[in-house]
Amino acid sequence: MSDISGILAGFEKLRPAERELDRRYAECDSQGHIAPNKEQNQCKHCYRHLVYGSEVDRILEGRESLPEAMQPMDAPILSEKREKDVELEEMFERQTGVTEIAKALGLITE
């Protein structure tokens, strides 16, 4: 039981960083990205991507010129894969954002 309490205490320790990240998300949502870095495709304020993408985009881009009747049958599967890729990116961004903010607030060390 003490292992679980330690884990829960660790999560509680990160709450201020989560609240700060949520505040930054709201700022960037309402004003546009505050610290965009186009080269890295990331906002340095909220740690989110400026443009989301996936390897699927490259595959679909190569098919744009094909007539609709010639489009491969895997289009729905690829579309779903793209959505999953973006979801994973968003989860990773959140983890990165909370970690970076927690470091800046002195809640964790490297």
Domain boundaries, the chain: 2-104
What's the pTM?
A: 0.76
- Residues whose CB is less than 8 angstroms from the CB of residue 59 and which lie 6 or more positions away in sequence, other chains included: 78
* Helices 75-104 + 15-31 axis angle, to 10: 120
- Residue 2: the pLDDT is 61
Average per-residue pLDDT for the chain: 87
pLDDT of residue 1: 47
Categorize the per-residue pLDDT at 10 as very low, low, confident or very high, splitting at 50, 70 and 90.
confident
> Range with the lowest mean pLDDT among 43-52, 60-69, 90-99?
60-69
Give the integer Cα–Cα distance in Å for 88 and 77: 17
pLDDT digits (tens, 9 = 90+) for 42-63: 999 999 999 987 777 777 777 7
